[in-house]
Structures are given as C-alpha cells and as structure tokens.
Amino acid sequence: MYARPVLVLIVLLVLSSVQAQEIDVQLVKDVLGDDLRYARSIVTPDGRISPGFDPSGSLRGHALVGIMVAKIHLGLKDPESLVLLNRVAAAVNSRIESEDGVDLGFDSGFPEPENYFAHVFAVNFLSMHYGLTKYGRSRANMLKLGESLEKRFGWVPYLSKASFLVHASRISYVSGGTSVSDDLEMVLNDFTEHFVDIVDFSTKSFDGLTESLYHLSLLLNVVDKAGLTAPVELQALWAVHVDRMMNQTASLSKSPENYSRLIRTLTALTYAAENSDYTAGALAAEQAVAIAQAVSPMWRSGDRILYLPVSPLDVYPLDPLTSSEAVLNAVREGRLPMVADLRFPSLLMMLDGVKPLPPELKTDIALAVGKVALKNGVYPVVEKGIVQSDEFVNRFMRVNMLSEFLAIQYELTFRQRNMVAEIFFDIHPSFLVSLTALLVIAFMHRAGLLRW
C-alpha cells in the first residue's frame, strides 16, 4: 500500500535533484563557453595557433590548444566547439605528416627534449580527437607517433601505441560513444605480448608502479564496457598491482611535502576502483577514500584552496613559453611549483560514482567548482610567477576539471532518466495517469504557474 506514495516521492526527488544540479551545470557551461571563446581567439583560420600565443609555433603549443578544445567539447558537446576541434586537428595532422615541429623516429637532430614533448602532447590530442570523432586520419597519425616513441624509448605502458588506443576508447565512452572492437583486440594482444615489460617497468620505481596500475585499470575498464573479457593473466597482473599499491600506501607519509606522491597514488587507486566488479577494485575504492580523507585537510582550509607542491612535469610543459630545456632544468633542480591542484576534486568526482563519499569530501568538490567556475576572470590555479603563460595554463587546468564535472553530470542525468523510465514501465497504467498529473502539477509550480 505504500508503493505508490514512495514512487511519487522518488520521482519528485529525482526531478528536484535534476533541477538543483542544473543550476551548477549551466554555470559550468557558461564558463566553458568563455574558455571556448578564448581558445578561438588564439587559433588562426587555418587551424594553427597565433604567433601572439606561441611565437615559436611549436607543435607542443599547438597540441596543447587542441587538448583544451577537445576537453571543452567533451563538456559542452556543442557544434561550435566541434568545428574548432576539427579545424585544429586537421592542422596538427598535416604537421605530423610533413614532420613540421616533430621528428618521427628521433633521428634527424631535432632537439630531443622538445621532440619528446611534441610527440607526447600531439599523440594525446589525436587520441582524444579520434575518441570523440572516430576520424581515421587522427588514428593513423596517433599510431605513427606511438610507433616513433616505442622505437626511441622501448615499450613502456604510458608511451605505447596500445595505451593511446585505450585512451581514445576511454574518451569515447566518457562522451557517450563506443569503442572500436578492432582497436581493443589490438590493445589486448599488445598488453599480453608485453606482460614482462609491464612487470619490469612497474618494479623499477614508485612512478612505474602507479603508471602501470593506471594503464592496466583503464584497459580493464574499456574492455569491460565493450563487453569483452581481458585475458586471465592481465586480470591477475592488475590485481597484483592493486595489492602492491595498497601495501606501499600504508607506509606513505601523509604530509603536504609528500603531496605529489599522494596525488599519483590517489589517481592510480581511483582508476582501479572503477573496476568495481572485481574484488581488488572494491579494495582500491576503500583505500582511495582513506587517502582522500588524509589529503583533504592539506588541500583546503575552510573555504580556501591551498597551494601544494607538485611535480614540475605537471605544470611547466603546459606553458608553451617555457622551453623544454627549462622544464628539464626544473626537474634536475627539484623545483616543485605550487598549485591549487584541481586533480584532487576531479578524482573525488570519479570516486563518488564508485563509492559514495563522506560529506567533507563532497564539500571539496563543491568548493572547487564554486571557486573555479568564474564567469569573469580566471582563478589563479598556478601560483603567480610560476609560468609565463598564466592565463592559458590556468584555463587549461580549470577546463580539465569542469569538463570532468559536466561529463559526470550528463551520466547522472542519463541514469536518473532511465530510473524514471523504469518506474513508469513497471507500474500499473491507471497509476501512470495519477503520477503524470502529479508531475505536470510539479512542473507548473516550478514554472510559477501554480502556487500553494
């Protein structure tokens, strides 16, 4: 006898939730719209970047702008951002095909540090473009860059052709699309063939362990979404990585000075937690929440986001005006830039979809979105004076987080609509009439057409 009132309450709560979220979503869309206008202002009609933004015209700078536009499109899903994205992708593809700003094979005397960064950012941009559009030209040049990296550095998880195909599949799923089955078959074969290389890489260092776990987690996740099954040996390898990561976490110092290592650990465990159908995934989720609770007090104080030391590779390469040599010098000197790190709330958003977060961590998410989603101006994510291209780097970092926020909101809305549909189809037709009337009245009240 209580079923019908409960169902009415559920539907009204869902509608209320959607409306509450819509306010935040619209604000974030407006801010990303401003970032799109900024990106459009530094892209020329032929898809290149303006000399005023990067006088050197580097492929690294070009690809960075492309990544920003791809992220904006991932959040907005609008035709305007897609037009700009395709224009930039066409120009980047042309540059790779003519080896303009990049040396494929690392054999022509092109400065290696800049060539490396050109490869890494260009291949990540093209993997995003391929994931969003399934454009074959971007796939071909993505694999060409991956082949060049493998030739120079050997097979490692984060520089392999397979990892870039996994990244493309991930982007496709996040955007509401699907993966290409042939790509995933190739990926599974490649990871299986390089089983020993993965073990070797992950046992060399802490960074190797976190990188390997991250890429294995992504692999299992996209394979599962595609309805495929990873080989048992890869599943076992992933579970061993989760176990090793958790063991190392137990002795990890929970201090601001160690934040750079903590955020890498949290990243690896959060992506592992997405594989929630596996026992190791559930354990990773619990450990990730525990780490997040330890990080939260050092990440914010009251309503202020605090600046924390991060790896120089997390910041300096994002500035086209910072030369690759300067980036390497910062690494050699152990220089740690201070950043209001938006990766933390982004990871919390992901984690909340796997395991409900405690209230204080949900507050961190709300604080980050509220601080960064400014219609006028740009929140100083990076401490002033750290990079020369302050506006671009700050926008780049906020776009990363806000696009993640929107993607998650879209997924939640999709789930809520499905839940409402299931309720409607599972109940008696006579009750649908009453329920529909209640919904109409609720909407009219919200629109101000009815008062009570």
For the chain, the residue count is 452
| This model's pTM is above 0.85 | yes
In a domain, 266, yes or no: no
> Is residue 429 within 8 Å of residue 52, measured between CB atoms?
no
Which residue numbers in the chain have pLDDT < 50?
A: 1-3, 5-23, 421, 424
Collect all residues with Cβ–Cβ distance below 8 Å to 2 and sequence separation of at least 6: none
In a domain, 125, yes or no: yes
In a domain, 150, yes or no: yes
Number of alpha helices (DSSP H) and beta strands (DSSP E) in the chain: 17, 4
Q: Which residue has the tokens 């994002």?
A: 318
In a domain, 198, yes or no: no
In a domain, 331, yes or no: no
Alpha-carbon dihedral sign for residues 15, 16, 18, 22:
positive
At 450 the pLDDT is 56
At 119 the pLDDT is 99
DSSP 334: T
In a domain, 306, yes or no: no
How far from 241 is each of 187, 201, 234, 238, 281, CA to CA, in Å?
A: 19, 12, 10, 5, 11
At 75 the pLDDT is 96
At 8 the pLDDT is 46
Q: What range defines the domain where residue 127 resides?
A: 22-154
At 452 the pLDDT is 53
In a domain, 91, yes or no: yes
Q: If DSSP codes are grouped into helix, strand and coil, which group holds residue 271?
A: helix
Question: How many domains are contained in the chain?
Answer: 1
- Note the Cα 32 to chain centre separation in Å: 15
